[in-house]
Amino acid sequence: MIELEIDGKKVEAEPGNMIIQVADAMGVYIPRFCYHKKLSIAANCRMCLVEVEKIGKPVPACATPISQGMRVFTKSEKALAAQRAVMEFLLINHPLDCPICDQGGECELQDLALGYGDDLSRYTEGKRAVDDENLGSLIATDMTRCIHCTRCVRFGTEVAGMRELGTVWRGEHMEIKTFVGKSLTSEVSGNIIDLCPVGALTSKPYRYTARAWELQQRYTIAPHDCLGSHLNVHVRRNEVMRVVPRESEAINETWLSDRDRFSYTGLKSEDRLNQPMIKQSGHWQSVSWEVALEYMLEALKKVIAVQGPEQAAGIISPSATLEESYLFQRLLRGLGCPNIDHRLRQIDFADQDSMPLYPGLKVKIADLEQQRAVLIIGANVRQEQPLLALRLRKANLKGAQIFCINPIDYQVNFNLNQKLICHPTLLPEMLAGIIKAILVKQAIEAPTTIAEQLKSIQVTEQQQAIAEALSVNQPSTILLGAIAQQHPQAATLRSLASLLAELTGASVNLLTEGANTAGAWLAGAVPHRGAVGLTQDKLGQTIAELFAEPRKAYVLFNVEPAQDCANPKQVTKALQQADLVVALTPYNTPYLQQHADVLLPIAHHAETSGTYVNAEGEWQSFAAVVSAPEQVKPGWKVLRVLGNLADLADFNYTASTEIRDELQGMLANHSLKVAKQVQPRINLAYTKHPLTRITEWPMYRVDGLVRRALPLQQAASHDSVGIRINSKMIEQLQLAAGGLATVEQAGESVTLPVILDERIPQGCALIAGGFAETEVLAESFGAITIHV
Amino acid sequence: MAETELYKLTETMCGEIDQWIAKFPPERKQSALLASLHIVQKETGWLSTAQLNAVADYLGLAYVTVYEVATFYSMYDLQPVGRHKVHLCNNISCMLNGSEKLSEHVKAKLGVEFGATTTDGKFTLKHAECLAACAGAPAAQIDGVHYENLTPEKIDKILDNLD
Ligand code: SF4
Ligand code: FES
Ligand code: FES
């Protein structure tokens, strides 16, 4: 510990700290532009000059390490004179166009100019002007305002791991630019809006729509991935104007993914459902809530009574709140129907009885940085959980070795020590090879469940290296992503991962879909367990069975069936033949018009109170940030009324927090005992199709809200839907890159552009889900044929 | 990272660049960037975008990193240049010793402003910051060679002797 004095106050701090860090911790404000606690020190703006006893010239507080007995003066005459002089220089070339600048009112330069600037400029020469950059649909630029603090450049280089912006030319001519006018492609690019201390980089969707002082700030949780980033939503007259991060060291630090930041732009979609509607003899009509709910309940009860409870099914989004999921399953179970599921894109549930209380992370998000070795299996981390990839990048920079097994050679923002890229059907075998490497090395006998199957596997050097790294470098961790969990052999992959974890001491972590998979499990939105994992007398069937063997009634909660589910073709067929399809939905789409019988308008996440449980098990509750329009009601309220109408006991909640508290109480009194560690189910056998479809849900296609966020759709235009395939396959199938070709799957066909993509393995084509264009197709990893 | 315009470094260039790469630790390939750009610039006297990209790919750097360096140093030209590059120093020592007059003279002689190339494609005239030849001010660097204590007559002779 070093003792020093700042503005006359004694303070102790660790050696190595800079003056500004100690001052910040004490609450002494030193003006700054280039310094940011999450970025490297550049010391280029000089705004932070302070006086230090026995040093002749003022020194930059952000780049001067503290020393024993140091006496710092941040507001002495000398310090202030230096700060004022710097401010005068910074304003020389600044356009001073605050009245037309979006940053006005929340601008660090404006604030400091007020404190340190002069009323009148002594500079009468011409100012320079800089051409603006077109950075794409998310970020607006006014580069003449730039003060060259380089925060945006350092963010790209250091945090995002994508060097897209740079400082070009020099001296008076210096400019912040992309490389010859490219848009930004980083999935976390929006953070430079927050970082830019002036109005050079601002939000494009928000541009010229509001002033900072008109906004009210409300707190909520991000609704798209399993991290549950903290958001501040800025609202004006019941309208969401923009979203910014709320600092949370444990989860999102000071960052936000572009998806979480800009998805609010989808809130005001034109296809919003504002009124309950029912379809009678083929005609839709708007009705009152009473009529709609009575109608729906009668019809549902009738199916259950006449056709049997197994003929009804409830499908709920993994991004529905904990409260919604809980009431949803209570309602259906209360009516006698145990068929409830939220695992929209999964197909293999063979190990569901041995699942823990909820799938998720064993390691805290922040602790991912401390891992020494990481194995990623079937995950496109940068797209699935952009901020989790940033943590992996940090771990990597600290020396962690990172490996992946993936069907696609995804671009990552860290260094991969080894990557095993293989045909998707070979994922289990690749993983088994690593297990074999350890068994052989340590001369351990293989468990009987797998011994026979391991015999034929050849261990490669790469697999050996991974096995070694995971065992030697502790802590180590295994991450299973969306592709692993949507895989036809997902259960095998999970079992293998557990086995590998046992052998190496690594932890197994599931990167789950949506914002609330953990909450859905806790709430009992699974067919085989009730809330908090309670065993059920009546076991339901999984979503795969519920669509493979069509039922007579479906209740859908915030699901767009053909874009959100694993096998759209099958789903559509099932809905077509059903007697009753009820959709609780924010949207009124042509698809639902065609296939549903009752549409109940429910609120978006921003319009409801509720709780998300993130992948690390953190319960995060939030209130509505705006109220729902017209007749739209929060989902939990609709379900509550339905429960009451159906005469189910204990459905009289007055606030969503009561529902959460009820669940928490149940959890405290019950701990799930996973029956007995059901023998890991491992089956490496696979059917290899001549041509396999790989399906992923691109980052901006994962749910209804992002799909409607136009700026995000424009930002991802380079990632448009098509048949992505490598050049060898293009030749083999006699296709033309850039031309059109027809994909056939399970008797359905669509014509799509052929996109050359060398990341795709032989024998496969990547055809994304979540698009209207591909909603007639079938299984995620099924057989396809492609022809011109 | 496919660029529409493609450029392939020649074998000789790669060979020369490799010699520079070898001088630094393997993870510090970026240190060979200045030299690499000089090597590639030798070909046509200037660097095209495609050439910058090729160097970036060869050294495993982000494109913008190479762009930053190439725009920072005045020794690199990012636009086509004449056969001869004339850099006149415009810093303080030279200024005190008549560089302004010299500049006017050269501009009139070549008929171009600073930063431009004569229509016959023979000369490109550029400013230089202090050439570290203050003792011999005013100074110029022509095709990489230093000339000191210049007068209009002296520089005429030098330029007239170039073909
Ligand atoms: S654009 Fe903003 S963040 Fe980037 S260097 Fe300029 S002032 Fe700093
Ligand atoms: S904040 Fe210290 S120099 Fe910029
Ligand atoms: S000022 Fe011209 S050489 Fe130094």
What's the pLDDT score for residue A52? Answer: 97
Give the mean model confidence (pLDDT) for residues A708-724. 91
Closest of A524, A510, A607 to residue A558, by C-alpha? A607
Nearest ligand to residue A178 Cα: 1
Asked if B72 and A163 come within 8 Å (Cβ–Cβ), the reply is no
pLDDT band for position B2 (cuts 50, 70, 90): very low
Q: Which residue of A has its CA nearest to B63?
A: A179
| CA–CA dist A376, A419 (Å, integer) | 9
What's the pLDDT score for residue A172? Answer: 87
What's the pLDDT score for residue B123? Answer: 96
| CA–CA dist A419, A430 (Å, integer) | 11
The alpha-carbon gap from B30 to the nearest alpha carbon of chain A, in Å, equals: 14
Asked if A166 and B49 come within 8 Å (Cβ–Cβ), the reply is no
Partner A contacted by B48 (CB < 8 A): no
Residue B63 with chain A: CB contacts under 8 Å: 179-180
pLDDT band for position A686 (cuts 50, 70, 90): confident
Indicate if the pLDDT at residue A180 is higher than 60.
yes
Interface test with B, best of A135, A168, A174, A756 (most B CBs within 10 A): A168
Give the mean model confidence (pLDDT) for residues A640-666. 96
The CA distances from residue A718 to A211, A412, A709, in Å, are 32, 17, 16
Indicate if the pLDDT at residue A117 is higher than 90.
no
Query: Is A148 near ligand 2, meaning CB less than 6 Å away?
Result: no
Quick one: which atom of ligand 1 is closest to the CA of A150? 5
Indicate if the pLDDT at residue A361 is higher than 70.
yes
Average predicted confidence (pLDDT) for chain B: 93
Give the mean model confidence (pLDDT) for residues A203-226. 97
Partner B contacted by A154 (CB < 8 A): no
Residues above pLDDT 70, as percent of chain A: 99
B75-134 residues touching A, CB cutoff 8 A: none
Give the mean model confidence (pLDDT) for residues A149-161. 96
Indicate if the pLDDT at residue A718 is higher than 90.
no
Decide if A582 contacts A554 (C-beta within 8 A): yes
Asked if B64 and A164 come within 8 Å (Cβ–Cβ), the reply is yes
Partner B contacted by A169 (CB < 8 A): yes
Residue B71 with chain A: CB contacts under 8 Å: 168-170
Closest of A625, A322, A346 to residue A486, by C-alpha? A346
The CA distances from residue A366 to A189, A250, A407, A497, in Å, are 21, 5, 28, 22
Q: Which residue of A has its CA nearest to B62?
A: A163
Structure token digits, residue A703? 């749910």
**Tens digit of each residue's pLDDT (9 = 90 or more) over B66-111:** 999 999 998 899 999 999 999 999 999 999 999 999 999 999 999 9
Partner A contacted by B68 (CB < 8 A): yes
| CA–CA dist A94, A144 (Å, integer) | 7
Mutate to test the pocket of ligand 3, among B87, B88, B94 (most ligand atoms within 8 A of CB): B94
| CA–CA dist A343, A631 (Å, integer) | 29
Asked if A179 and B72 come within 8 Å (Cβ–Cβ), the reply is no
Partner B contacted by A185 (CB < 8 A): no
Its pTM stands at: 0.94
SS3 of chain B: the string is CCCCCCCCCCHHHHHHHHHHHCCCCHHHHHHHHHHHHHHHHHHHCCCCHHHHHHHHHHHCCCHHHHHHHHHHCCCCCCCCCCCEEEEEECCHHHHHCCHHHHHHHHHHHHCCCCCCECCCCCEEEEEECCCCCHHHCCCEEECCEEECCCCHHHHHHHHHCCC
Partner B contacted by A122 (CB < 8 A): no
Task: Identify which of A162, A164, A166 has the shortest CB distance to residue B68.
Answer: A166
3-state secondary structure of A69: coil
**Tens digit of each residue's pLDDT (9 = 90 or more) over A587-644:** 999 999 999 999 999 999 999 999 999 999 999 999 999 999 999 999 999 999 999 9
DSSP string, A624-675: -SSPPPTT-B-HHHHHHHHHHHTT-SS---SSHHHHHHHHHHHHHT-----S
Closest of A716, A694, A684 to residue A781, by C-alpha? A694
pLDDT band for position A433 (cuts 50, 70, 90): very high
Burial A127-164, CB ≥16 within 10 A → b, else e: eeebeebebbbbbbbbebbbbbbbbbbbbbbebbbbbb
Asked if A180 and B67 come within 8 Å (Cβ–Cβ), the reply is yes
Residue A165 with chain B: CB contacts under 8 Å: 64
Asked if A163 and B65 come within 8 Å (Cβ–Cβ), the reply is yes
What's the pLDDT score for residue A679? Answer: 60
**Beta bridge partner(s), residue A743:** A750, A786
Nearest ligand to residue B98 Cα: 3
Q: Which residue of B has its CA nearest to A176?
A: B68
Asked if A179 and B67 come within 8 Å (Cβ–Cβ), the reply is yes
Scan for tokens 């059907």, then name that residue: A425
Indicate if the pLDDT at residue A682 is higher than 90.
no
Quick one: which atom of ligand 2 is closest to the CA of A46? 3
Average predicted confidence (pLDDT) for chain A: 95
What's the pLDDT score for residue A741? Answer: 97
Indicate if the pLDDT at residue A456 is higher than 70.
yes
Look up the ipTM and state it: 0.85
Give the mean model confidence (pLDDT) for residues A691-717. 95
Decide if A511 contacts A385 (C-beta within 8 A): yes
Indicate if the pLDDT at residue A744 is higher than 60.
yes
pLDDT band for position A181 (cuts 50, 70, 90): low
Partner B contacted by A274 (CB < 8 A): no
Nearest ligand to residue A36 Cα: 2
Partner B contacted by A166 (CB < 8 A): yes
Residues with CB under 6 A from ligand 1: A 146-152, 176, 195-198, 200-201
What's the pLDDT score for residue B163? Answer: 83
DSSP string, A281-338: TTEEEE--HHHHHHHHHHHHHHHHHHH-GGGEEEEE-TTS-HHHHHHHHHHHHHTT--
Indicate if the pLDDT at residue A214 is higher than 50.
yes
Interface test with A, best of B27, B59, B68 (most A CBs within 10 A): B68
Asked if B71 and A169 come within 8 Å (Cβ–Cβ), the reply is yes
What's the pLDDT score for residue B3? Answer: 44
Decide if A479 contacts A374 (C-beta within 8 A): yes
Indicate if the pLDDT at residue A565 is higher than 50.
yes
Give the mean model confidence (pLDDT) for residues A228-238. 97
Partner B contacted by A165 (CB < 8 A): yes
* CA within 13 Å, CB half, A111: 14
Size of interface A-B (CB pairs under 8 A): 32
Mutate to test the pocket of ligand 1, among A38, A139, A142, A150 (most ligand atoms within 8 A of CB): A150
Residues above pLDDT 90, as percent of chain A: 91
Indicate if the pLDDT at residue A663 is higher than 90.
yes
| CA–CA dist A655, A640 (Å, integer) | 10
Task: Identify which of A162, A168, A170 has the shortest CB distance to residue B67.
Answer: A168
Indicate if the pLDDT at residue A680 is higher than 80.
no
Centre of ligand 3 to C-alpha B88, Å, is 9
Give the mean model confidence (pLDDT) for residues A325-342. 97
In this structure, the number of other CB atoms found within 10 A of the CB of residue A474 comes to 13
Give the mean model confidence (pLDDT) for residues A574-581. 97
What's the pLDDT score for residue A687? Answer: 82
Structure token digits, residue A469? 């790294």
| CA–CA dist A518, A523 (Å, integer) | 9
